[in-house]
Amino acid sequence: MRRRWGCLSSLCRPRRDGRAAAAPLPQPDPPRLVSKEVEEHGASDKVVMENILSNNDFSEGLHLWHPNGCHGFVAVEGSGYHHGIRPHSGSNYAVLTRRMHNWQGLEQDITEKVTVGTEYIVAAHVRVHGELNEPVGIQATLKLEGDGSSTNYQSVARISASKDCWEKLEGSFELKTLPRHLVFYIEGPPPGVDLLIDSVTISYKKTERAASKLVSGTENIISNYDFSEGLHLWNPICCHAYVASQWSGFLDGIRGSSGENYAVVSKRTESWQGLEQDITDKVSAGTAYAVSAYVRVDGNIHTKVEVKATLRLHNTDDSTHYSPVGSLLASKEKWEKMEGSFCLTNMPKRVVFYLEGPPAGVDLIIDSINITCSGYQQLKEVKVPSGVDTIVKNPHFEEGLNNWSGRGCNICRHELTAYGNVKPLNGSYFASATGRVHNWNGIQQDITGRVQRKVLYEISSAVRIFGSANDTEVRVTLWVQEYGRERYVSLAKNPASDKQWTHLKGKFLLHAPFSKAVIFVEGPPAGIDILVDGLVLSPARKLHAAPRPRIENVSYGANVIHNSAFSHGLSGWSPMGSCRLSIHTESPHMLSAILKDPSAKQHIRGSYILATNRTDVWMGPSQVITDKLRLHTTYRVSAWVRAGSGGHGRYHVNVCLAVDHQWVNGGQVEADGDQWYELKGAFKLEKKPSKVTAYVQGPPPGVDLRVMGFQIYAVDRKARFEYLKEKTDKVRKRDVILKFQGSDAANLFGSSIRIQQTENSFPFGSCIGRSNIENEDLADFFVENFNWAVFENELKWYWTEAEQGRLNYKDSDELLEFCRKHNIQVRGHCLFWEVEDSVQPWLRSLHGHHLMAAIQNRLQSLLSRYKGQFKHHDVNNEMLHGSFYQDRLGNDIRAHMFREAHKLDPSAVLFVNDYNVEDRCDSKSTPEKLIEQIVDLQERGAPVGGIGLQGHITHPVGDIICDSLDKLSILGLPIWITELDVTAENEHIRADDLEVYLREAFAHPSVEGIILWGFWELFMFREHAHLVDVDGTINEAGKRYIALKQEWLTSITGNVDHHGELKFRGYHGSYTVEVATPSGKVTRSFVVDKDNAVQVVTLNI
């Protein structure tokens, strides 16, 4: 809802999302000898803290991390935070669960990353979750394995942690001797308690040359540039690579251009496939680099082909930019020298250099690569792109404090002579804000007149703190004085420390007209100084949308699981972990319920696989399916599962996919041993994996697991679309007879008629916000394409009463007036929210009759004010996922809310509203559980009038959605899709996914309305879900939505028959008809109502 999340595209969305696995990061380079030229610049060296841990913030899932005898996964915004726990920083953290021993935790091998005699500083933010009432110990440990069989353990840090907040684990170590094998891990809580880790660093002091002092240099920043160490630190991009040498044999007799080795990149199926190396830590912004490489090609070609050098830049906003470096036409007859150059204006999160280019099937041959520094161009790391003026004046304090002022505090500029031991990150100056007595105190600049509305801006700054050893959040905020209101816009934020500079980056756009704008840096508690090294604000550059990905050689409907009927025993199957697998035949009476499903008869043969001796929840049957999957293709998952001996009650069972080092949810269900349960789900891969393993897991250790009819197959969406069009015709259309009467009616036989539908009466809506309707372009798109609205935040309790007793209905009043003006119907969202994270602090502090009184005041205040103005109300949001009110006030409080709401506003239809119900990726949120909840409410006298399915979905599969809708239809209540969005970075894939959901919902007779949860970029709940780019360009997803709306309008031409009639079948809604009469054209209007009977419309002509 109001929170943003980004997603693993392959993760099924519990609530918030993440990203697909990235390519493995290279290990740090071994120390290099420093040349004499570098030594002469030693006076300008600076000491920085270098982190040796890879993937320290879990932004790449668990890549290079390993759960130690337990289960681990990364909680991200897109996949749902663990029990609603928010990260300490960033948007990810690791969760270690199903722990049976204190020593089970998370580990990483650091053998190749440490040296003897160096002090390493360890820091991590940790907390726990589980059934515990007091803090428990967490510790960081080193496991040192010697040359023999000896193993020693060394504790390096220890802290007491609780389930209430994040704690910082700190320590240090120094090795006297280097062990054969060294593993770092975090452990400690008692069995059954989950261990949560936000970020981990192991740092040492490293001396770097100041790039600004380097005038020239010949040091090659490419490691293993001549492949003398094989492919060490090189990574083939979705293809095969090896090193040919004189010792191993040259390719087709081709000798190297220099040296004794060269790399061969083969089995290339795309032109962009090649060889890459991560150079993030070896380059800096503002430095010019010269690139050269000797290359040639080999294969069935007769002309020269292009070879290119490219940089892949991974930005902090998770976008990816490709920058060309150099190119040439290469042949297979001789080596060619390719040359190029580059200079980074801003420092991205990750920089990858790679060679690519030849057509598919042509081998790329690389002899050696050099990237050397050719000079420093006096650009700072947060400098604006060339040709663009920064909005902020004197951004790097080179003119003292001109244009800057203190926001309730003192400010000062500092030079290289230091502030304590702090030195500037870039250039010669930084500023400090001191004497702060409030968290909003800081350094500010008035930018009125230089920043404009409806323009996308990028913000970049480097900050740190002084006066506290603990990290604390620093924010860049924009205060805007709009007409009639003031508003604070968060531009960028990040935890900052007193040990190093931290970068803040973000984007924003202002919709409403304003009279004043001030940008300022704030955040830390009183008494802590804020240090700022540059603050740049500039118009953002528009990135070109990626083309539609090529999806080829997909066998729709073909099961990628080998031997799924077990007709060949255990062929193709292997145990996940140490469990045992065996094949058994089910008794006929247990199969009878399954075989009632016609689709099951095709692949159920009566045999099942049994997993026994399971000592952990993740153990079960598995198959490697890497080569059978295609990118950007939605795969449907289906299996019948049943718990075995060793347990009682129901257990969560799910299909999982281990995609490289990330866990992907393929569907969940609750199952016991009494019967077979169908498990459904879906997934999609956006990046080429090196290994994908599908497996079934779930019951606790000691409980056997049975699996039957396991299927994974690509979904043929277009074939289902034809079926849905026929279904839509039956559900959304009606037979109509137009009868003409009047003075000219007798002469109308054979006259031409043109019928045009002007509006489909089916409700299509979107959420809107008070600030964004001030953008005329956004408002125009909304009014033109939607006939219903819901307010994103403005009616929620935390918005209307952020402080107890101080009511704010100004925003909702103005939004309601906007909707009245444009004849837009409105849903109310929401009276209450059952998830505790969404309850404002003052309300969380109330209990008993005080909380009950607050609930009654909320109902009375809102519903008496807006009685009859909202067609629907979501009464208590997300009751399948939260229990704040129920835990405090008992089981009847939910029904009480419905009963009281109906008394105060009897005309409004009262809805339940929840997520993950229709896609089967969350066993807590199923159609069966929602039905059970609604029946319980009704038995308690709650007048539940409708079912709200939010529709935040990532991999929609039509028949799964339809099956869920069918199940819910048994209640006879109208179903609304209340918060629809689909997320995919590629807008063509996003359009395809959106079409699946829209067609499925529109074709279902129980669905009576569809509301999108936004449509404009930057103003969406989830990233990569928008229909309109921030500059107003309608993207592929928006075009698809508009095209479907157009498809669902009826347009007919015909002639009046001898009865003076014209018959047609059309969508429900408003029409105009144009009739050519003897006296001229006549236009009339009429409405086709929703009904099954033939509608007769009489028109006077």
Residues with catalytic annotation? Answer: 979
Please give the order of strands across the beta sheet that includes 514-522.
405-407, 442-446, 514-522, 472-482, 485-496
Q: Looking at the DSSP assignment, which residues form a beta bridge with residue 61?
A: none
Phi, psi of 5 (to 5 degrees): -155, 145
CB 242 within 8 A of CB 231: yes
Neighbour-count burial of 253, counting CB atoms closer than 10 A to its CB (0-12 exposed, 13-18 middle, 19+ buried) = exposed
**Residue owning tokens 């981990």:** 200
Amino acid at 751: S
Polymer length in residues for the chain: 1101
State CA 464 to chain mean position distance. Answer: 28
Paired tokens of 890? 């008992």
* Torsion sign over Cα 447, 450, 455, 456: negative
Q: Looking at the DSSP assignment, which residues form a beta bridge with residue 864?
A: none
Paired tokens of 533? 């090294």
Phi, psi of 434 (to 5 degrees): -125, 170
Paired tokens of 1062? 């014209």
Paired tokens of 860? 């009375």
Amino acid at 560: V
Rounded Cα–Cα distance for residues 1014 and 1016 (Å): 6
What CA–CA distances, in Å, run from 674 to 506, 554, 573, 664? 53, 38, 25, 28
Amino acid at 1077: T
Rounded Cα–Cα distance for residues 466 and 496 (Å): 10
Among 831, 823, 826, CA closest to 813: 826
Phi, psi of 1007 (to 5 degrees): -85, 125
Q: Looking at the DSSP assignment, which residues form a beta bridge with residue 1086?
A: 1071
Contacts of 524 by beta carbon, 8 Å cutoff, 6+ apart: 436, 439, 465, 468, 472, 473, 474, 496, 530
Rounded Cα–Cα distance for residues 667 and 635 (Å): 11
Provide the CB-side half-sphere exposure for 226 (13 A, CA). 9
Rounded Cα–Cα distance for residues 421 and 163 (Å): 36
Task: Quickly count: other Cβ atoms within 10 Å of residue 547's Cβ.
Answer: 9
Neighbour-count burial of 401, counting CB atoms closer than 10 A to its CB (0-12 exposed, 13-18 middle, 19+ buried) = middle
Rounded Cα–Cα distance for residues 241 and 14 (Å): 39
Amino acid at 908: A
Helix/strand/coil (H/E/C) assignment for every residue in 850-861: HHHHHHHHHHHH
Q: What DSSP character marks residue 498? A: S
Contacts of 108 by beta carbon, 8 Å cutoff, 6+ apart: 53, 54, 64, 65, 66, 183, 184, 185
